[in-house]
Amino acid sequence: MSISVTAPYCRFEKTGSPDLDGDETVLGLIEHGTGHTDVSLVDGAPRTAVHTTTRDDEAFTEVWHAQRPVESGMDNGIAWARTDAYLFGVVRTGESGRYADATATLYTNVFALTRSLGYPLLARTWNYVSGINTTNADGLEVYRDFCVGRAQALDEGGIDPATMPAATGIGAHGGGITCVFLAARGGVRINIENPAVLTAHHYPTTYGPRPPVFARATWLGPPEGGRLFISATAGILGHRTVHHGDVTGQCEVALDNMARVIGAENLRRHGVQRGHVLADVDHLKVYVRRREDLDTVRRVCAARLSSTAAVALLHTDIAREDLLVEIEGMVA
Ligand code: 3EB
């Protein structure tokens, strides 16, 4: 099958009705705000609310859109919508004292759905994890508990960690674990690493019994209308957090890492004949652990990003206890 259509893209909307071009349709909506809801299909679009910030004026909706036509369904709790070329899905597991088994089931179900519907190329995931730095019923940090389950699903499915795409693993203020994903039927998917940061699935066990599995970015072809999805990016060099307690330092290193990942030298090393700078990145989500750091982070980001980029700042916890900020985005 030849894929000549434009890959899905998102807009950040402050109010309800999304603004769409003629041949576009909504693939799904993620509401970021001060509460959570169940996963559902509303007018044929998967929808959920995630509790990713603590002030109503920071709320917005991430509207994913793609070219028509679209079909949708609900399987194993996964609300999904698809075009000929792309599949978007949302699934949640409720708050619990232990997440590994439910996470393994959730990911196994996602892999099964992508296979049965015929979209084998997982291209991006977002994992919103409530109480991410709290300890579970066994004394294990919830993020590590989540990582155990995700790794188990890969074991069970015989899935190579290197095929896992760009991701976000971030805190939420309630709601258990919500997983949002995007997959493609064909075209090319190329996972991109960062030469200055250790590949996540090679992290030492000091960060948890099972490592996280995600790429630093994923290029989703076709060449025209393709996308570069950039993972949540932090102040990490090698596998170590840098600038402890210094949000400006961490934010600068996160942006340096993002620039390194998307630059021509790195992309070409991965076989992607493109090169980008920070000013090309749009629809950034910036996760900030401490409310008092929001203004500083906004300033540091504004100095290095495009003045026309959509940048959403969210106040939430971050996978590693010592990380104060994480930044994700995409390039059209
Ligand atoms: C890190 O780089 C910080 O578990 O899917 C960033 C992006 C992070 C994705 C994930 C975790 C995840 O290790 C945390």
3-17, 54-68, 79-93, 242-256: which has the minimum mean pLDDT?
3-17
* CB 332, CB 227: distance < 8 Å: yes
Mean pLDDT of 144-156: 98
Q: Does residue 236 have its Cβ closer than 6 Å to ligand 1?
A: yes
How far is 231 from 250, CA to CA, in rounded Å?
16
Task: Summarize pLDDT for 227-266 with one digit per residue, the tens.
Answer: 999 999 999 999 999 999 999 999 999 999 999 999 999 9
Strands 121-130 and 166-172: parallel
| Joined tokens for residue 129 | 């994890």
Q: Does residue 200 have its Cβ closer than 6 Å to ligand 1?
A: yes
Q: Does residue 177 have its Cβ closer than 6 Å to ligand 1?
A: no
Catalytic annotation present for 265: no
Nearest ligand 1 atom to the CA of 203 is 13
Q: Give 178 Cα–ligand 1 centroid separation in angstroms.
A: 15
Task: Summarize pLDDT for 166-184 with one digit per residue, the tens.
Answer: 999 999 999 999 999 999 9
Mean pLDDT of 189-200: 98
How far is 26 from 16, CA to CA, in rounded Å?
12
* CA geometry: angle 208, 210, 211, nearest 5 deg: 85
Closest CA to 179 of 119, 116, 122, 218: 122
* CB 4, CB 222: distance < 8 Å: yes
Mean pLDDT of 136-144: 98
- Provide the pLDDT for residue 16: 62
Q: Of the residues 170, 193, 198, 316, which should be mutated to test ligand 1's pocket, given the most ligand atoms within 8 Å of the CB?
A: 170
- Provide the pLDDT for residue 3: 46
> CA torsion, points 207, 208, 214, 217, in degrees to nearest 10?
-20
Sorting pLDDT into bands at 50, 70 and 90, what band is 4?
low
How far is 154 from 157, CA to CA, in rounded Å?
5
- Catalytic residue (choose from 31, 62, 252, 326): 326
- Provide the pLDDT for residue 95: 97
Nearest ligand 1 atom to the CA of 143 is 4
pLDDT at 215 over 60: yes
Closest CA to 163 of 193, 190, 202, 197: 190
Nearest ligand 1 atom to the CA of 239 is 13
pLDDT at 2 over 50: no
Look at ligand 1, atom 6, and give the residue with the nearest C-alpha. 232
Task: Summarize pLDDT for 271-315 with one digit per residue, the tens.
Answer: 999 999 999 999 999 999 999 999 999 999 999 999 999 999 999
pLDDT at 329 over 60: yes
To the nearest whole number, what is the mean pLDDT of the chain?
A: 96
* CB 58, CB 50: distance < 8 Å: no
Mean pLDDT of 38-42: 96
- Provide the pLDDT for residue 1: 44
Q: Of the residues 107, 124, 127, 239, which should be mutated to test ligand 1's pocket, given the most ligand atoms within 8 Å of the CB?
A: 127
- Provide the pLDDT for residue 22: 76
E strands along the chain, which residues? Answer: 9-13, 24-32, 40-42, 45-50, 60-67, 71-75, 78-82, 86-93, 121-130, 166-172, 177-184, 189-192, 217-220, 227-233, 236-237, 240-241, 282-288, 311-315, 325-331
Q: Does residue 272 have its Cβ closer than 6 Å to ligand 1?
A: no
Q: Of the residues 199, 202, 214, 323, which should be mutated to test ligand 1's pocket, given the most ligand atoms within 8 Å of the CB?
A: 214
The residue with greater pLDDT, 97 or 4, is 97
* DSSP annotation of 7: P
| Residue written as token pair 């015989």 | 158
- Provide the pLDDT for residue 17: 67
Q: Does residue 184 have its Cβ closer than 6 Å to ligand 1?
A: no
The pTM of this model reads 0.97
- Provide the pLDDT for residue 23: 81
How far is 39 from 156, CA to CA, in rounded Å?
25
Q: Give 253 Cα–ligand 1 centroid separation in angstroms.
A: 15
- Provide the pLDDT for residue 21: 75
